[in-house]
Chain A
């Protein structure tokens, strides 16, 4: 098994996640794409953990998962709030922060 195969898989997932973030109008879908990105990171971490034979990769993978959970929680809460005010969660309408 090559280290590369795992890293490349991570990379592909990462890029798909990036496309998702950019292309998606619906906030939830964007959150999902972010999940994709986080997972690709996890794969990388663990690949290197195995390669270097240290447990660091594992701890950080766990931390990433924890953070992802927190992030989805807050993200969805915000989406809920926005939805309640705006009746729509299309991102391109939420432009109040315009410079």
Chain B
């Protein structure tokens, strides 16, 4: 019985977090104040981290919080600060043909939903998965079969760093 109501709790938790995330996302793309957008983005990322926990991916959740929210959002805020002085909402933050985006997004959403529904209907996630993924398994993966992507990723990061320095240099 414990497992059953645990399951229900998980669903309720999922529901709340999902709603927060969607509202956050909508706000990100609709708010006219850039800083607000950044902050809403933080909420969405936090919601995502929570979802990862629900999906039994603690390590990724923690990384998400540390790297993503910590580093990337800070970067964003720096970005917004450096690119203009004014605080508060900007005027016409959307471009002229923003209306084009809505139908495309809706069309895309509809297609995905149909496909997902058709594909995974009512498939249940395994309540008590036999192989819980722990960090040790992840590290075996990274340094096992996926070593090459890891290498490539390191190069990408290096390039990004150097690029950012070169681009942003003042002189």
Contacts and interface: CB of A to CB of B under 8 A. Distances in A.
* Direct A/B contact, Cβ within 8 angstroms: yes
Contact of A92 (B52, B67, B95, B109): B95
A34 to B, nearest CB: 11
Given A1-B14, A18-B101, A47-B55, A73 B129 contact: no
Interface string A13-50: 11111111111111011011101100100110011011
A36 B44 contact: yes
B123 A58 contact: no
A57 B98 CA distance: 34
Q: How large is the interface on B (under 10, 10 to 19, 20 to 34, 35 or more residues)?
A: 35 or more
Contact of B57 (A5, A24, A36, A61): A61
Contacts of A68: 68, 72
B83 A33 contact: no
Contacts, number: 260
Interface in B83-139: 83-84, 90, 92-96, 98, 100-102, 104-106, 108-109, 112-113, 116-117, 120-127, 129-131, 133, 137-138
Contacts of A35: 41, 45, 72
Interface of A: 1-9, 11-26, 28-29, 31-33, 35-36, 39, 42-43, 46-47, 49-51, 53-59, 61-63, 65-74, 76-81, 83, 89-92
Given A46-B51, A72-B75, 16 more contacts: A3-B123, A13-B44, A14-B108, A24-B29, A25-B95, A28-B83, A32-B41, A35-B45, A42-B64, A65-B64, A70-B160, A76-B75, A76-B164, A77-B163, A77-B165, A83-B82
5 contacts: A4-B123, A32-B28, A32-B38, A59-B146, A80-B83
